[in-house]
Amino acid sequence: MRLPDDNFLIQVVEEPTRKSTFLDLVQTNKEALVEDMKVGGRLGCSDHEMVEFKILCGGNRAISRIKTWDFRRANFGLFKELLGGVLWVQKEDEGQCGAAAE
Give the 3-state secondary structure of residue 87: coil
Q: What is the number of domains present in the chain?
A: 1
The pLDDT of residue 43 is 78
- Is 29 among the domain residues? yes
The pLDDT of residue 78 is 92
The pLDDT of residue 34 is 82
The pLDDT of residue 2 is 61
- Is 63 among the domain residues? no
Residues 25, 13 contacting (CB under 8 angstroms): yes
- Is 94 among the domain residues? no
Plot region of 58 (φ>0 → left; ψ -120 to 50 → alpha; else → beta): left
The pLDDT of residue 12 is 77
Q: Is the pTM of this model over 0.75?
A: no
Q: HEC states along 15-36?
A: CCCECCECCCCCEECCHHHEEE
Is beta strand 34-39 parallel, antiparallel or unpaired with respect to 51-55? antiparallel
The pLDDT of residue 25 is 77
The pLDDT of residue 4 is 62
CA dihedral 79, 83, 84, 88 (to 10 degrees): -170
The pLDDT of residue 41 is 82
- Is 69 among the domain residues? no
Residues 27, 10 contacting (CB under 8 angstroms): yes
Q: Which domain holds residue 6?
A: 2-55
Q: Which residues of the chain carry a pLDDT beneath 50?
A: none
